Chain A
Amino acid sequence: MVRLAISVCLDSVVVKRRGKTVLGPVDLCLQADGFTIVLGPNGAGKTTLLKVLHGVERVSRGSVQWSIPNAQVREAQAYVFQSPIMLRRSVRQNLAYPLQLIGIDKAEIASRVVDWAQKTGLQDALDFPAPRLSGGEKQKLALGRALIRMPKVLFLDEPCANLDGRSTREIEELLYDATKAGTRIIMTTHDLGQARRLADSVLFLMNGALHEHGAASNFFAAPSTSEAQAFLNGDIIE
Chain B
Amino acid sequence: MNEIWAGVQEAFRLIFILDADLIEITLRSLEVSLTALVIASALALPFGTWLAIRRFRYRRFTIAVLNALMGLPPVVVGLVVYLLLSRSGPFGVMGLLFTPTAMIIAQVIIITPLIASITHQAMRELWSEYHDLLISLNTTKRQRVVALIWDGRRTLMTAALAGFGRAIGEVGAIMIVGGNIDHATRVLTTAIALETGKGDFALALGLGFVLITLTLVVNLAIHALSRTEQEGTW
A residues with CB within 8 A of B: 54, 56, 74-75, 78-79, 81, 85, 87-89, 97-98, 101, 129, 131-132
With A74-B138, A75-B138, A79-B136: A88-B151 Cβ-Cβ less than 8 Å? yes
Q: Please pick, from A88, A98, A132, the residue contacting B137 in the complex, using a CB distance under 8 A.
A: A98
With A87-B147, A101-B139, A101-B143: A129-B232 Cβ-Cβ less than 8 Å? yes
B232 touches A56 (CB 8 A): no
- Tell me if B129 is interfacial: C-beta within 8 Å of chain A: yes
- Give CA–CA (A54, B138) in the complex, Å: 10
B residues with CB within 8 A of A: 126, 129-130, 132-133, 135-139, 143, 147, 151-152, 231-232, 234
Least CB separation from A78: chain B residue: B136
CB-CB < 8 A to A56: which residues of B?
A: 132, 135-136
Least CB separation from B126: chain A residue: A88
Chain A nearest CB, measured from B143 CB (Å): 6
CB-CB < 8 A to B151: which residues of A?
A: 87-89
Chain B nearest CB, measured from A87 CB (Å): 6
- Give CA–CA (A129, B154) in the complex, Å: 15
Query: Which 8 pairs between the two chains have the least Cβ-Cβ distance?
Result: A85-B133, A88-B234, A79-B136, A74-B138, A88-B151, A56-B135, A98-B137, A131-B234
- Give CA–CA (A97, B147) in the complex, Å: 10
- Give CA–CA (A116, B152) in the complex, Å: 26
- Which label, helix, strand, loop or mixed, suits the secondary structure of the B interface? helix
- Give CA–CA (A69, B64) in the complex, Å: 42
- Give CA–CA (A98, B147) in the complex, Å: 12
A81 touches B133 (CB 8 A): yes
- Give CA–CA (A97, B26) in the complex, Å: 44
Chain B nearest CB, measured from A125 CB (Å): 14
From A54, A87, A89, residue with most partner B Cβ within 10 Å: A87
- Give CA–CA (A54, B234) in the complex, Å: 29
Chain A nearest CB, measured from B122 CB (Å): 12
B132 touches A85 (CB 8 A): yes
Least CB separation from A85: chain B residue: B133
B147 touches A54 (CB 8 A): no
CB-CB < 8 A to A79: which residues of B?
A: 136
- Give CA–CA (A108, B232) in the complex, Å: 30
- Give CA–CA (A88, B123) in the complex, Å: 13
CB-CB < 8 A to A78: which residues of B?
A: 136
B136 touches A87 (CB 8 A): no
- Give CA–CA (A131, B139) in the complex, Å: 21
CB-CB < 8 A to A97: which residues of B?
A: 137, 147
CB-CB < 8 A to B135: which residues of A?
A: 56
A-B contact pairs, 19 of them (CB 8 A): A56-B135, A56-B136, A81-B133, A85-B129, A85-B130, A85-B133, A87-B130, A87-B133, A87-B147, A87-B151, A88-B151, A88-B234, A97-B147, A101-B137, A101-B138, A101-B139, A129-B231, A129-B234, A131-B234
Least CB separation from A142: chain B residue: B133
A79-B136, A81-B132, A88-B151 given; name 6 further pairs at CB < 8 Å. Answer: A87-B130, A87-B151, A97-B137, A98-B137, A101-B138, A129-B234
- Give CA–CA (A85, B135) in the complex, Å: 12
Chain A nearest CB, measured from B155 CB (Å): 10
CB-CB < 8 A to B136: which residues of A?
A: 54, 56, 78-79, 81
Chain B nearest CB, measured from A16 CB (Å): 20
Least CB separation from A89: chain B residue: B151
CB-CB < 8 A to B231: which residues of A?
A: 129
CB-CB < 8 A to B147: which residues of A?
A: 87, 97
- Give CA–CA (A109, B115) in the complex, Å: 35
Chain B nearest CB, measured from A154 CB (Å): 11
- Give CA–CA (A56, B134) in the complex, Å: 11
CB-CB < 8 A to A98: which residues of B?
A: 137
Chain B nearest CB, measured from A171 CB (Å): 18
- Give CA–CA (A85, B129) in the complex, Å: 7
Chain B nearest CB, measured from A138 CB (Å): 12
Least CB separation from B139: chain A residue: A101
- Give CA–CA (A69, B191) in the complex, Å: 68
Chain A nearest CB, measured from B126 CB (Å): 8
Chain A nearest CB, measured from B1 CB (Å): 49
